[in-house]
Structure 1
């Protein structure tokens, strides 16, 4: 089953998550259209968090059910998106969504896939998908090199992050994802994405990560000093570029 710690570890970071986490590029939805997806396809956004990924598909015209076990994050999603008639949020896990058999056309997972029990979710996603359905898994991969800020930020995470290395190592590579889908794999794509952040937004983005030390931890104050120093040394006209590649995989998983 899902690592229990993973369902709770963002509870005290919801405000920063809502305000400072990046969204996802609209080009991702366009790529899915090339695989035959239309706005009529119903979506179950699993591990939906505060609704950032749900918003992407709502904007694309889909009906979206957000499946999220963390009550604080689910409440944030409802507060943000609950006025949209095509949106609902339910309490469920990736391995036990609570959805009925064959009831959705798209299962989407953004950023959260590395916390799941991959064998169990393959069975669950295959169960809830319609015969034409696809599981679409995507995440923003922060670029580690290319600018002094990106390289300095990576060093900062290694020095002050609590369990950064173990979390970073959870992300799967292309070959692992293809094996996970099995014969139903339809392919992958990558899109450049990014945020332009002033210092306050950079601090909020940093503290939204589950591996960053909160106030009271001995690494917290040194982290703040190092982050401010890095920003001052690398900012351009008061902002830095926080660059990502959004990687997306699609297919009908075959247990």
Structure 2
């Protein structure tokens, strides 16, 4: 992780906790049934953020250590998950987790993966995994077309957020023919799958979802109020029964590290 990426969400934690999507429950079924990971396997959730992905695995019966460098996000995860008996959080990065050698059965990384230094993270994941341990990477890819709302939201981001295109380009494996994830795993790459995911949002939810994004102009930026005005217009023109369908594909990549 570069230093800037560990701080990008510090002032957006409340919106992140309240408005970011959860994960399809089929994801843990896939990990157990298709990847052969035992339900009680110890998980290191890297770049755990506010704990959304860690909760998924805790609820499935796994002990989880959440590795997160941003103190504000880690504190939010601790508030959410502190009641779980087998939850632990540590201040660490994908490249330097602070975990012991061969100490976990499964390494997971969700939405934060695109911020990692990929080569250093691969080395670190291999170090902390037990022999035959596995890596499962997953993130929500927002659909950018398929409905007037989705197309309009993508256009809004490109119009008002100068940082958006650069951030969007850091997500690997989304473009047709992109082999970056298979290349990252190397000979250890085993499987990929995609699950549908969605949030049904009213206007307040949509505004909060937008403001949870690190590239959205914040209050005080001259683009902030015009962006929210455009969002209101987009919502009014595309809502059905007071809601819009904020649709994603949850992309999942699984395999073992090359050692």
TM superposition score category, shorter chain reference: over 0.9
Distance 2:24 2:203 in 1: 23
What residue number does 2:15 align with?
Answer: 16
Deviation at 1:170, TM superposition (A): 0.4
What residue number does 2:204 align with?
Answer: 200
What residue number does 1:251 align with?
Answer: 255
Deviation at 1:162, TM superposition (A): 3.2
Does residue 213 of structure 2 align to residue 209 of structure 1? Answer: yes
What residue number does 2:109 align with?
Answer: 109
| Secondary structure of residue in 2 paired with 1:5 | coil
TM-score, normalised on structure 1? 0.98
TM-score, normalised on structure 2? 0.97
Deviations 1:126-162 (Å, cap 9, x if unpaired)? 0000112111110000001110000000000000113
Does residue 235 of structure 2 align to residue 231 of structure 1? Answer: yes
Distance 1:206 1:38 in 2: 37
| Secondary structure of residue in 2 paired with 1:8 | coil
Distance 2:187 2:99 in 1: 24
| Secondary structure of residue in 2 paired with 1:221 | helix
What residue number does 1:81 align with?
Answer: 81
Distance 1:59 1:243 in 2: 24
Deviations 1:79-130 (Å, cap 9, x if unpaired)? 0100111111110010000000010011100011110100000100000001
Deviation at 1:251, TM superposition (A): 0.8
What residue number does 2:187 align with?
Answer: 183
Deviation at 1:40, TM superposition (A): 1.5
| Secondary structure of residue in 1 paired with 2:55 | helix
What residue number does 2:149 align with?
Answer: 149
What residue number does 2:3 align with?
Answer: 4
Deviation at 1:69, TM superposition (A): 0.2
Aligned length: 254
Deviation at 1:165, TM superposition (A): 0.3
Deviation at 1:247, TM superposition (A): 0.2
What residue number does 1:242 align with?
Answer: 246
| Secondary structure of residue in 2 paired with 1:7 | coil
Distance 2:98 2:184 in 1: 22
What residue number does 1:91 align with?
Answer: 91
- Which ranges of structure 1 fall in alignment gaps of 5 or more residues? none
